[in-house]
Homo-oligomer: A and B are copies of this chain.
């Protein structure tokens, strides 16, 4: 989307950095010094309360953007889920390029607005959905982003992997590990999904899953 000029400049300021599973990328409040794009793996963003309660507030997939070009302190903890490679850009330089590159800025604005929309969908999930609906929504989401599930081409029966542990799923959905586990079992019992291993599953009835997720039918 960006012109050859921007690409060359980005190329010049980029550097790769890898993280292993569970490794902290930045802690909330810490100076970051860079912004980055996720090359591979997943990144969890979390907020932690004084007494230890934790909520995941962002889950970045490949090509998602991390950090704010216009300020240095990280707003939340960022942790590598699985092995992660980031393509990092020094924050100040990136900001300078951004200010003069409408194409790059347009792209970033669009991505940020998509994140905001996703985040608002998440608000509905946390505020109003039942545990079963949360789990069903989560499985549908992961299946979609993994490319396995698709409203047009459901591909029922195809297995895919959950990138998150039960604990991470619980932090994503505002539940406890136990409730996550129980609802997974319930969906299996009800014949909507097939749990091959705890991390690996296939969707037996995509429609049933969407019904259980309580989502609007409209795929937009």
Is A117 close to B, CB under 8 A? Answer: yes
| Inter-chain contacts of A218 with B (CB < 8 A) | 29
How often does this chain occur in the complex, in copies? 2
Interface string of A74-89 (1 = CB under 8 A from B): 0110000000000000
B99/A106 in contact, CB under 8 A: yes
Q: A102-B100, A174-B126 are in contact. Are A119 and B119 (CB under 8 A)?
A: yes
A68 to chain B, nearest CB (A): 6
A123/B55 in contact, CB under 8 A: yes
| Inter-chain contacts of A106 with B (CB < 8 A) | 70, 98-99, 105
Which stretch in A9-17, A42-50, A178-186, A200-208 binds the other chain?
A42-50
Closest to A170 in B: B127
Closest to A108 in B: B109
State in angstroms the CA–CA spacing of A75 and B116 once bound together. Answer: 11
Is A220 close to B, CB under 8 A? Answer: yes
| Inter-chain contacts of A214 with B (CB < 8 A) | 49-51
Contact of A216 among B49, B57, B126, B174 (CB under 8 A): B49
Q: Measuring CB to CB, which residues of chain A are less than 8 angstroms from any residue of chain B?
A: 29, 45, 47, 49-51, 53-58, 68, 70, 73, 75-76, 98-102, 105-106, 108-110, 112-113, 115-117, 119-124, 126-128, 173-174, 214-218, 220
